[in-house]
Amino acid sequence: MLTRIDHIGIACTDLDATVEFYRATYGFEVFHTEVNEEQGVREAMLKINETSDGGASYLQLLQPIRDDSPVGKWLAKNGEGVHHIAFGTADVDGDAETIRDKGVRVLYDAPRTGSMGSRITFLHPKDCHGVLTELVTSAPRPAEDH
């Protein structure tokens, strides 16, 4: 069962400038940064709040490190902006299978590693009213690690 909005992914061309905008404008601070080679992105997670199920909600800022990465291709076509929405779940495998059984295309046969050690999969945007949708099972949360 989906329990929360885990994060909203925002594609950007300059991660540092985008982080500074969200810090200066809204007071959001970086909770975690990493480079995900498999996804071809450099990212920053800005924590918005804690949630009642022990998780949190974030903005995920994504800068492609390769033009041929999924975010790089999307950015070239669409420009900066909201890339996807991610819903948190305790069971990404089970929820992906349940959603697949309802006729929605799940983009990965098995979940992959996402931000902060999470397990993720994506749902095809054409089956989700134009919205690229991610399902996320969070790893146990580490302490803040700017």
**Active site amino acids:** 7, 43, 60, 84, 134
In this structure, are strands 119-123 and 133-137 parallel, antiparallel, or unpaired? antiparallel
The b/e string for 105-128 (b: 16+ C-beta within 10 A; e otherwise) is ebeeeebbebbbebbbbbbeeebb
Q: Report H helices in the chain.
A: 15-26, 70-78, 92-101
Q: Which residue(s) pair with 113 in the sheet?
A: 119
**What residues have CB less than 8 Å from 133, skipping those under 6 apart?**
84, 85, 86, 87, 122, 123, 125
Q: Which residue(s) pair with 46 in the sheet?
A: 30, 59
